[in-house]
A and B are shown apart, each in its own frame.
Chain A
Amino acid sequence: DTGVSQNPRHKITKRGQNVTFRCDPISEHNRLYWYRQTLGQGPEFLTYFQNEAQLEKSRLLSDRFSAERPKGSFSTLEIQRTEQGDSAMYLCASSPTSVRAEQYFGPGTRLTVT
């Protein structure tokens, strides 16, 4: 399967701990996106990369959140000093550069902060 993959699929952590998620996009896709989805809501945009450059960040992305995409391949999303409000599904998507292209989503990482 050459789709978008995310690891881990589930993460349970205690409040105050740091967590890191990984996303591997479809190999030929230049753009990579992170979204957050809470129960009963649609996904909300967090940030996106064009190759290795982080070009846009949502106001939802507080200072405790950082994302990287070294070498323009996989990406990591780190949350420092987790809070219970960070509990959500974190989705990664990738797409070609074309503005007309749809985004392809991974299965997500479900974070539970206790």
Chain B
Amino acid sequence: AQSVAQPEDQVNVAEGNPLTVKCTYSVSGNPYLFWYVQYPNRGLQFLLKYITGDNLVKGSYGFEAEFNKSQTSFHLKKPSALVSDSALYFCAVRRQAGTALIFGKGTTLSVSS
């Protein structure tokens, strides 16, 4: 069965510091991996995806993620956090032959000024 784990319910960082939001996955075959962000009273916004190729993927708003096949991880990173990055972040996986996204429980990122 497919699954996604986001081991941290909350991540706290100071503005200007680097941030990492962790994600590990379990899926049969090669995965398609996604990160979404959710702001209060708004839908999920797509940040970035890994399909194939370079393990380091760059996305919107300065975010990037690194795909690690041996560790089955897809951690979200940003070199310098902004207060406006504070939101709920979801990692999701999809089988190459599948359609549905399987989401983690989400990680709340709080960036303090």
Which residues does chain B contribute within 8 Å of A33, judged by CB atoms?
99-101
A58 to chain B, nearest CB (A): 7
Could you give, for residues 50-81 of chain B, a 1 whenever the CB lies within 8 Å of some chain A CB and a 0 otherwise?
01000000000000000000000000000000
The docked-state distance in angstroms from the alpha carbon of A99 to that of B101 is: 11
B52 to chain A, nearest CB (A): 8
A2 to chain B, nearest CB (A): 14
- Identify B106's interface contact among A42, A55, A100, A106, CB under 8 A: A42
The docked-state distance in angstroms from the alpha carbon of A45 to that of B101 is: 7
Closest to B94 in A: A99
List the interface of chain B (C-beta within 8 A of A): 4, 32, 34, 36, 41-46, 49, 51, 90, 92, 96-97, 99-106
Q: A42-B90, A42-B92, A100-B51 are in contact. Are A91 and B102 (CB under 8 A)?
A: no
Does B105 lie within 8 Å of A42, measured CB to CB?
yes
- Identify B100's interface contact among A41, A56, A100, A106, CB under 8 A: A56
Which residues does chain A contribute within 8 Å of B102, judged by CB atoms?
45
The docked-state distance in angstroms from the alpha carbon of A41 to that of B34 is: 17
Could you give, for residues 51-70 of chain A, a 1 whenever the CB lies within 8 Å of some chain B CB and a 0 otherwise?
00001101000000000000
Which residues does chain B contribute within 8 Å of A102, judged by CB atoms?
34, 46, 49
Which residues does chain B contribute within 8 Å of A31, judged by CB atoms?
99
The docked-state distance in angstroms from the alpha carbon of A100 to that of B34 is: 11
Q: How many residues of A contact B (CB 8 A)?
A: 25
B83 to chain A, nearest CB (A): 23
The docked-state distance in angstroms from the alpha carbon of A107 to that of B103 is: 17
Closest to B52 in A: A100
Does B41 lie within 8 Å of A42, measured CB to CB?
no
28 contacts between A and B (CB under 8 A): A4-B43, A31-B99, A33-B99, A33-B100, A40-B105, A41-B105, A41-B106, A42-B4, A42-B90, A42-B106, A43-B44, A45-B100, A48-B99, A48-B100, A55-B99, A56-B100, A58-B100, A91-B44, A99-B32, A100-B32, A102-B34, A102-B46, A103-B46, A105-B43, A105-B44, A105-B45, A106-B43, A107-B42
